[in-house]
C-alpha cells in the first residue's frame, strides 16, 4: 500500500482515456442510422383532436406512436458524484406519464464536454434494460434524451450513444448549444430573429462545412431561448422536429421535462441531496 507522491506512473492519463473514448464513439458510430427506421407511424394532428393516419381505411398495420420515453439525470447538490437516473414514458395523446423508474448511483466518471455519454449512458441503459427484460407493455417506441444527438464534435452525442446501444429511435434535445462547425449562439439568435419576422420559429443548424447538425426551435411562444433538436438514432431530423413539437407543452418537451422534474424530486424526497 505504498502511497504515491506523484502521478508520474499513473496507469493511464486523461488523454489516454479520452483517446479510448473517441475510439469507442467512432466504433459505435458505424452503427448509427440517421433516417427514419421504425414501424410505427406518427399520429396526424387535426384541429383540436388527434387522429391516426388512415391505412386502407382500417386499423394501422404497425401501430401508431403512443409510448414516448424520456430520460434525464439529476445530481445531489453537495455531492456531484451522487446521481439519480430517471426514465419516464408518456402517452403521446395525453402527454401523461404512464411509467417512471429511478436509479440512484455513485458516478465515478467525470463530465467531460463531448463525452457525456460515458458518464450518463450506463445508468440510463440499465433503466431501459430493466423495463425491456420484463416485457413491460409501456416500453417506449422511441426515446427523447436530455443531451445532443449528432450535434456533437464527432457527430455522436449521448442521444446517438443511447440509441445505438439500446437499438431504439432517439432524439437529442439540448438546452444550450454545443459549439460545433462554426455554429454559435449569436448566429443562431440572428437567424431566429430573421426567421421570426417571417413567422417561423425554427431554423436549420447548418455549419460552415455545409453539414446539417440539427435545428434550433423556439418551442415556447414567448421565450427567445430555443431548444436544440438533433437526430439521435433511427430517426430523421424532420421527424424529430415533429415529435418535439408534438410533445412541447412548455419550452422543454414533456418527456424530458418530466424526467427532469421527477429526477430532482426523487433525490429530494429520499433526502439524498443533503
Partner DNA sequence: GCGACAG
Partner DNA sequence: ATCTTGTCGC
User: Which residues contact DNA by CB under 7 A?
Assistant: 72-75, 77, 80, 111, 113-117, 146-148, 152, 157-159, 172, 174-179, 185, 222, 264, 273
Please say whether the beta carbons of 142 and 170 come within 8 A: yes
> Residue 94 or 111: which CB sits closer to DNA?
111
Q: How far is the CB of 159 from DNA (least distance, A)?
A: 7
CA distances (Å), origin 122, targets 9, 31, 107, 118: 29, 18, 10, 7
Residues 238, 249: Cα–Cα separation, whole Å = 19
Grid coordinates given for 141: 417506441
Q: How far is the CB of 73 from DNA (least distance, A)?
A: 6
Q: How far is the CB of 121 from DNA (least distance, A)?
A: 10
Q: Which residues contact 267 (CB under 8 A, 6 or more apart)?
A: 74, 75, 76, 82, 84, 104, 273
Residues 251, 198: Cα–Cα separation, whole Å = 21
Q: How far is the CB of 248 from DNA (least distance, A)?
A: 15
> Residue 57 or 113: which CB sits closer to DNA?
113
Positions of E strands within the chain: 44-45, 50-51, 67-75, 82-91, 96-106, 142-146, 170-174, 202-206, 212-217, 227-233
Q: How far is the CB of 119 from DNA (least distance, A)?
A: 7
> Residue 66 or 257: which CB sits closer to DNA?
257
> Residue 28 or 60: which CB sits closer to DNA?
28
> Residue 12 or 185: which CB sits closer to DNA?
185
Q: How far is the CB of 232 from DNA (least distance, A)?
A: 10
> Residue 43 or 169: which CB sits closer to DNA?
169
Residue linked to cell 431501459? 128
Please say whether the beta carbons of 243 and 217 come within 8 A: no
What does residue 141 show for φ and ψ, rounded to 5 degrees?
-80, -20
Grid coordinates given for 146: 436530455
Q: How far is the CB of 218 from DNA (least distance, A)?
A: 15
> Residue 43 or 155: which CB sits closer to DNA?
155
Among 249, 251, 227, smallest CA distance to 240 is for: 227
Amino acid at each position: 500500500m505504498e502511497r504515491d507522491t506523484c502521478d508520474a506512473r499513473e496507469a493511464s492519463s486523461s488523454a489516454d482515456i479520452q483517446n479510448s473514448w473517441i475510439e469507442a464513439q467512432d466504433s459505435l458510430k458505424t452503427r448509427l442510422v440517421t433516417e427514419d427506421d421504425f414501424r410505427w407511424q406518427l399520429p396526424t394532428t387535426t384541429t383540436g383532436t388527434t387522429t391516426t393516419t388512415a391505412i386502407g381505411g382500417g386499423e394501422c398495420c404497425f401501430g401508431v406512436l403512443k409510448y414516448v420515453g424520456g430520460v434525464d439525470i439529476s445530481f445531489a447538490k453537495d455531492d456531484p458524484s451522487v446521481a439519480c437516473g430517471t426514465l419516464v414514458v408518456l402517452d403521446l395523446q395525453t402527454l401523461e406519464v404512464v411509467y417512471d423508474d429511478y436509479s440512484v448511483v455513485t458516478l465515478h466518471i467525470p463530465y467531460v464536454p463531448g463525452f457525456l455519454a460515458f458518464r450518463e449512458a450506463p445508468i440510463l441503459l440499465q433503466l431501459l434494460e430493466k423495463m425491456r427484460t420484463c416485457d413491460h407493455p409501456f416500453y417506449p417506441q422511441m426515446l427523447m434524451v436530455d443531451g445532443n444527438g449528432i450535434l456533437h464534435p464527432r457527430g455522436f452525442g449521448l442521444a446517438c450513444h443511447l440509441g445505438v446501444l439500446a437499438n431504439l429511435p432517439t432524439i437529442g434535445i439540448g438546452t444550450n448549444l454545443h459549439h460545433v462547425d462554426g455554429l454559435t449562439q449569436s448566429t443562431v439568435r440572428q437567424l431566429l430573429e430573421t426567421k421570426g419576422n417571417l413567422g417561423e420559429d425554427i431554423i436549420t443548424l447548418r455549419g460552415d462545412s455545409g453539414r446539417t447538425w440539427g435545428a434550433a426551435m423556439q418551442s415556447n411562444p414567448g421565450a427567445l431561448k430555443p431548444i436544440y433538436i438533433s437526430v439521435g438514432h433511427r430517426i430523421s431530423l424532420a421527424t424529430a422536429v415533429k415529435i418535439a413539437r408534438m410533445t412541447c407543452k412548455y419550452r422543454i418537451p414533456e418527456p424530458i421535462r418530466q424526467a427532469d422534474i421527477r429526477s430532482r424530486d426523487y433525490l429530494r424526497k429520499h433526502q439524498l441531496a443533503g
